[in-house]
Amino acid sequence: MYVAVKGGEKAISAAHELLAKVRRGDTREAELSVKQVEQQLPLAVARVMTEGAVYDPELAALAIKQSAGDLVEAIFLLRAYKTTLNRFGICEPINTETMQIERRISATYKDLPGGQVLGPTFDYTHRLLDFSLMAEGDVSEPSVADISPSAEMSAEPVSVEPVSKVLEILERENLMVSESDHQSEPTDITRDPITYPAERSARLQSLVQGDEGFLLALGYSTQRGYGRNHPFAGEIRIGEVEVSIVPEELGFEITIGAVQMTECEMVNGFTRHRDGEVKFTRGYGVGFGQCERKAMAMALVDRSLQAADYDEEVVSPAQQEEFVLSHCDNVEAAGFVSHLKLPHYVDFQSELELLRRIRAAEQSDSAKDMN
């Protein structure tokens, strides 16, 4: 008698043990610590925090270690952990204008108040493998004095004063559509599923958590003509901003900590608005840690999703809100794609049976025709 082999508890736990072994790698090498991941892979940590929607570098680093470097898996781990957390309050809106600038650039002005601050960036590096990093031993501390600041570009922030925002400068000149606080309660996509057409707040929340690769491709497609929106990187800034809450029993604001954020504001093609005025339009991108590519891609897509506001014809994928928002989440997408690995015996059996029946019926029909 043949007994069908189906997965059992033993097989599952053995598979998990194997995974743990693969993750550890060669035991003659020192084990990677969570602290090392947090300190030495900060950009991976930033992506996991942004798309995992939890600001906690240590837990993000743990997720990266646990997932053996699979960032989509790490994002998933962090999201699943987030589910279990209690909410004890809602913070006040963060103010990125008071950001302690670590990097701040504008592609629209050569120089501007607050200056151009390159900060830590891959920009302008030559993408040559640096074999010196393969060598063992301590790497000497980079010396700040080696970097010679030019008149309009410096590598280190020059002031700790609030640095005003590029797009606000344009707004004040009446050249830019204004972005104003509606004072209405923002939607919370973790509590209410998105309905279409979506509120801007729901849209931005969804894009922040959205997959960097997916948004990058969509943003790129707008640059290639599928829903062009003529972008300029008006301003990109990275740095720490304070987070504060107003406890009910106190009634005044107290600062509870600081988070590192990246913000990108795009200046987009101008258009004649319903009030008859001609102004630039804008797109907004933001994320935790240093996540410039993500923030830029998000800003491009945020703008392309405003098509309806400017009576633009919606013809390209990046302009279709329902298409973009219902497919941008990589936890959802990876889950549903991976579920194809689950058994589908029953459904497949049903299809098999139907196909055989259709073919049998057709064969008997054609046999009848022959007679």
Q: Could you list the residues that contact another protein (CB under 8 A)?
A: 1-4, 6-9, 11-12, 76, 79-80, 82-84, 86, 190-193, 195-197, 322, 326, 331-332, 334-339, 342-347, 349-354, 357-358, 361-362
Q: How far is the CB of 338 from another protein (least distance, A)?
A: 6
Q: What tokens appear for 87 in the block?
A: 């909410």
Q: How far is the CB of 61 from another protein (least distance, A)?
A: 19
Residue 80 or 246: the one with the smaller Cβ distance to another protein is 80
Nearest to 202 by CA among 127, 302, 135, 78: 302
Q: How far is the CB of 152 from another protein (least distance, A)?
A: 45
Residue 137 or 193: the one with the smaller Cβ distance to another protein is 193
Q: How far is the CB of 193 from another protein (least distance, A)?
A: 4
* Contacts of 334 by beta carbon, 8 Å cutoff, 6+ apart: 72, 73, 76
Pairwise CA distance, residues 362 & 367, whole Å: 9
Residue 100 or 326: the one with the smaller Cβ distance to another protein is 326
Residue 108 or 326: the one with the smaller Cβ distance to another protein is 326
Residue 6 or 110: the one with the smaller Cβ distance to another protein is 6
For every residue of 202-217, DSSP letters joined together read HHHHHHHHS-HHHHHH
In this structure, which amino acid lies at residue 44?
A: A
Residue 63 or 99: the one with the smaller Cβ distance to another protein is 63
Residue 1 or 370: the one with the smaller Cβ distance to another protein is 1
Burial class of residue 368, CB neighbours in 10 A (0-12, 13-18, 19+): exposed
Residue 172 or 344: the one with the smaller Cβ distance to another protein is 344
Measured at the CA of 75, the angle between CA 74 and CA 76, to 5 degrees, comes to: 90
Find residue 187's DSSP bridge partners: none
Nearest to 92 by CA among 257, 267, 301, 261: 257
Q: How far is the CB of 210 from another protein (least distance, A)?
A: 15
Instruction: Give the residue carrying structure tokens 């989509």.
Output: 72
Q: How far is the CB of 325 from another protein (least distance, A)?
A: 11
Question: In the β-sheet with 100-105, what is the strand arrangement from edge to edge?
Answer: 153-154, 116-117, 100-105, 232-245, 254-272, 278-288
Burial class of residue 294, CB neighbours in 10 A (0-12, 13-18, 19+): buried
Q: How far is the CB of 8 from another protein (least distance, A)?
A: 6
State whether residue 205 is helix, strand or coil.
Answer: helix
Q: How far is the CB of 184 from another protein (least distance, A)?
A: 19
Q: What tokens appear for 361 in the block?
A: 């019926």
